Structure 1
Amino acid sequence: MTSSPTAMPQNPSARPSPGFAGNSSTEDLRTAIDASFGQTLEQLKGLVAIPGIAWPSFDREPLERSAEAVADLLRGVGLDNVQILACDKPDGTPGGPAVVARRPAADGRPTILLYAHHDVQPTGDTGLWETEPFTAVEKDGRLYGRGAADDKAGIMAHVAAYAAVSEVLGSALGLGVTFFFEGEEEAGSPTFRSFLEENRELLRADVIVVADSSNWKVGVPALTTSLRGLVDGTIEVQVLEHAVHSGMYGGPVLDAPTLLSRLIATLHDDGGNVAIKGLVAKDTAAVDLPEEDYRADASVLDGVRLAGSGSIASRLWTKPALSIIGFDAPSVDAASNTLLPRARAKFSLRLAPGQVPAEAMDAVRRHVEANAPFGARVTFTPGESGNPFLTDTSSPAASLAMWALGEAWGVPAVETGIGGSIPFIADLTELYPDVQILVTGVEDPDSRAHSANESLHLGDFRKAILAEALLLVRINEQGL
């Protein structure tokens, strides 16, 4: 995502409303959060110092230590029922350790599940970092370090909000609260589905808050209301039984890389729109992104024309996007004067909300088979798939979240989409079809999650804690 919306949608839920979470109680929560913010920040720094990476090639000990540290934080806010749980992967090796803690709901009260993840991405090239990746450093109102934003700040937002609500409400807190802090999200959540199935009742809730997204920009909060889905696969073109001398045989037949390139070129029209029939595409984004901001954030070179039609936000959030992310052919340094018999490419197709992944995969198959150049043999191999996600913005939870975000920031919240996917949300909606899912976050366009110099804006972090505290209070007071 990027900054500076060109239009702000009207947000009736941001208007003041009566009840406990009026001005006086908002200030009570704010006071409690401010009083403990120094401790919250030190606890976050402590989490950043633990290099818990769930990738199989990394030492598991820091990941286990990270789970223990998170469990201690939950015990520190008065939760007794804290567990560290894991499922085995299909190969028998253990999945990442998840931390689960519960405060049961009073009779007739709803339960809210607060999700984040404690594992982090590897650092990449440490030479690109301006600070030590696993030493949290405050600078110019931001906290730098791997996981400072993605997603250890999400954990601390949940913990600090709950602590403030517990302090302000005391025995009046009847809302059920379940904490679920995953330990393998950055490794693709390989045991997430089996973990849900094994712990289905333990994790059952009326509302799920996934704190793993971004705000619109510094100073403007957002509720992520759409995520694109995903299908991928490979396309192979074969023209010869074996390689032959390019001088002796070249001319009457075109080599496989050339024909594969011609096939790939049919996937987009001349304007850069995806040209595969049968895909869902909508120009319905509620806000738009200035072209200059997108170019800067995506590092687009001067002179490169942007692809597609419609608003830039819609091209990112509510329309399909197809990329070739791999290409098998001999490298330039190893090239010889031969006609190559076969070449293979891997595609990644992001799907608009409302698209059924299986139908999208079939659409790609039909397209490549119908556009086989010069009668070449085309083999299509489907890969992974994931469902898109669209929030019911009319739901009580979404309305309350928009109100709470606007109250905490002092400006109306916006509804945004994300061009990427969070595949495990599809598992949540499938296993809990009646749950209301809210995708929130503490990041901003300059957080650089997954990249060098990842950072968290501390002012917005404090507001994110307040927004979640307000949401908890309002659901506790009004129900759903």
Structure 2
Amino acid sequence: MHPAHSPTPTDLQRLVEEGMPGTLAALGALVRIPGIAWPAFDQSALQRSAESVAALAEATGAFDEVRILRAPIPGTAEQGQPAVLATRAARRGAPTVLLYAHHDVQPPGDDALWDSPPFEPTVRDGRLYGRGAADDKAGIMTHIAAVTALREAAGEDFPLGLALFVEGEEEYGSRSFANFLAENRDALAADVIVVADSGNWDSDTPALTVSLRGNARFTLRVRTLAHASHSGMFGGAVPDAMMALVKTLSTLWHDDGSVAVEGMTARDADTPEYGEQTLRDEAGLLQGVDPAGRGEILGRIWNQPSITVTGIDFTSVAAASNTLAPEVTVVVSARVAPGQDAAAAYEAVRTHLMTHAPFGAQLEFSDVDLGNGFLVDTSGWAVAAVREAFAEGYGAEPVDIGVGGSIPFIADLVREFPDAQILVTGVEDPHSRAHSPNESLHLDTFRHAILSEAVFLASANARATGAAGPGRG
């Protein structure tokens, strides 16, 4: 079928449904590739993953060119991980839409905590389990399937310009992202940027992410001794590094768990109703354990800062001995309220720790990673169009949400493409457990997400005017 550039939602729904077996098979094949950007893991898997994504982009028949590219990492002689860049020039004054996702995944962690192998896609109770099944290989396949449906419905000569950018190091900090944008700016220039790396209100209700917290992550080393000593002989007079660390870190929070760092700010904004029982259900909070923080629950997650210790180098339980440790190293991850500069938040945390370190303990800071938060301008045509597309694709009115997590590279997109409208979407639901064991994708949500994006692309395609327009039109 090749109607003149105006496929209906019914056309698109039929094509999406017909394509679902192939879409799910392709997603399963991607999940089987353990593409992890951490240097300790097999880096050849990322190349295989990029090649698989490039082949999928080629198979859509929609792109003029598909390439696998790398960009240098600032301040090093290294190249970043392989990214896929597929482009299609706009025709007849149509806008250009850039579709973003990432093909790298988080490390699986302890395999024993998974109910099925992390890199063996497994369907149970309407969900597909596997590392990357939701974050973010489903995002890739949402783009691929939506573009395929548009091309089949609108014909090969549809006017909409497209760029597909699938990076390979988002989970490792998108270290070459800014350079990649700069080196490929013309190919990536777009009127609308769709970032498929967020979530929904629930498995039935779509959401547009309109705010994201920033991040300030760093490594902290605490030292108190020139060498280890016997804890029985010197304990009580000598402060070891663990004692100093525990006392220092404890000052970061008030007794209720809210952040106690002077200089870290909160954003004042209304949030939807969200009860404690919902939090317990979605987060797995144990009975008898109280929530942390103060104020409305979603306000704590979306609009207030948080601080988490995410890693520690210290003697294991199995190797414990009666020893005063000379040093301890931890990773501290701070989430920064939307609207606060991440560098200012980091400096506030750093100053706080230096001020509160007991016994004159020596503190060293390294591996600082900063990313600003994001607030979406909801006034453009693309936001209205995507909301309509969500309602069509899900059969439910969408909700505007904030997200407690961070997508720091969005600040790079805003800097490089200040006039582009940015839409943060996704396929995850509150039970997806991204970054955790038993990560999963709700399959009906996945179907709805594909149809919604196809409807949105069709509406953007219908904006062709026949004359040169913005972007690459």
Please report the TM-score for the alignment, with normalisation by the length of structure 1. 0.85
Change (3 A) 1:243 1:188: closer
Change (3 A) 1:463 1:248: closer
Corresponding residue number in structure 1 for 2:146? 161
Change (3 A) 1:367 1:402: same
Alpha-carbon displacement from aligned partner over 1:134-169 (angstroms, at most 9, x marks no partner): 443333322233332222221121111112222222
> What is the aligned counterpart of 2:59 among 58, 62, 76?
76
Change (3 A) 1:100 1:396: same
My pick for the range that moved more, 185-194 or 432-441, is 185-194
- What 5-or-longer segments of structure 2 have no aligned partner? 465-469
SS of 1:157's partner is: helix
SS of 1:392's partner is: coil
Q: Distance in 2 between matches of 1:64 and 1:238?
A: 40
Correspondences of 1:21-32 after superposition (within 5 Å): 25-32=8-15
Letter aligned with residue 380 of structure 2: S
Corresponding residue number in structure 1 for 2:197? 212
Change (3 A) 1:427 1:51: same
Correspondences of 1:456-471 after superposition (within 5 Å): 456-471=441-456
Residue 179 of structure 2 is aligned to residue 187 of structure 1: no
Residue 69 of structure 2 is aligned to residue 85 of structure 1: yes
Aligned residue pairs total 457
> What is the aligned counterpart of 2:322 among 336, 352, 368?
336
Deviation at 1:398, TM superposition (A): 2.0
SS of 1:446's partner is: coil
Tell me if the contact between 1:283 and 1:315 (Cα under 8 Å) persists in the aligned partners.
no
Q: Distance in 1 between matches of 2:231 and 2:131?
A: 50
Change (3 A) 1:237 1:86: closer
Residue 382 of structure 2 is aligned to residue 397 of structure 1: yes
SS of 1:50's partner is: coil
Q: Distance in 1 between matches of 2:145 and 2:328?
A: 53
Correspondences of 1:307-346 after superposition (within 5 Å): 307-326=292-311, 333-336=319-322, 345-346=330-331
> What is the aligned counterpart of 2:214 among 229, 234, 248?
229
Corresponding residue number in structure 2 for 1:45? 28
Deviation at 1:132, TM superposition (A): 4.1
Q: Distance in 1 between matches of 2:361 and 2:119?
A: 50
My pick for the range that moved more, 428-437 or 378-387, is 378-387
Please report the TM-score for the alignment, with normalisation by the length of structure 2. 0.86
SS of 1:52's partner is: coil
Q: Distance in 2 between matches of 1:175 and 1:115?
A: 16
Tell me if the contact between 1:145 and 1:453 (Cα under 8 Å) persists in the aligned partners.
yes
Deviation at 1:83, TM superposition (A): 1.1
Change (3 A) 1:356 1:141: same
> What is the aligned counterpart of 2:39 among 22, 31, 56?
56
Tell me if the contact between 1:235 and 1:344 (Cα under 8 Å) persists in the aligned partners.
yes
Corresponding residue number in structure 1 for 2:290? 305
SS of 1:230's partner is: strand
Change (3 A) 1:474 1:387: same
SS of 2:278's partner is: helix
Residue 394 of structure 2 is aligned to residue 424 of structure 1: no
Tell me if the contact between 1:235 and 1:378 (Cα under 8 Å) persists in the aligned partners.
no
Change (3 A) 1:343 1:77: closer
Residue 91 of structure 2 is aligned to residue 125 of structure 1: no
Deviation at 1:55, TM superposition (A): 3.2
Letter aligned with residue 394 of structure 1: S
Residue 54 of structure 2 is aligned to residue 104 of structure 1: no
Corresponding residue number in structure 2 for 1:473? 458
- What 5-or-longer segments of structure 1 have no aligned partner? 1-19
Change (3 A) 1:198 1:241: same
Deviation at 1:353, TM superposition (A): 0.4
Deviation at 1:289, TM superposition (A): 3.0
Corresponding residue number in structure 1 for 2:467? none
Q: Distance in 1 between matches of 2:121 and 2:222?
A: 49
Root mean square deviation, CA, Å: 2.9
Corresponding residue number in structure 1 for 2:49? 66
Residue 365 of structure 2 is aligned to residue 381 of structure 1: yes
Q: Distance in 2 between matches of 1:459 and 1:422?
A: 25
Deviation at 1:176, TM superposition (A): 0.7
SS of 2:388's partner is: helix
Deviation at 1:248, TM superposition (A): 7.2
> What is the aligned counterpart of 1:408 among 381, 393, 412?
393
Change (3 A) 1:237 1:181: closer
Identity, % of aligned positions: 50
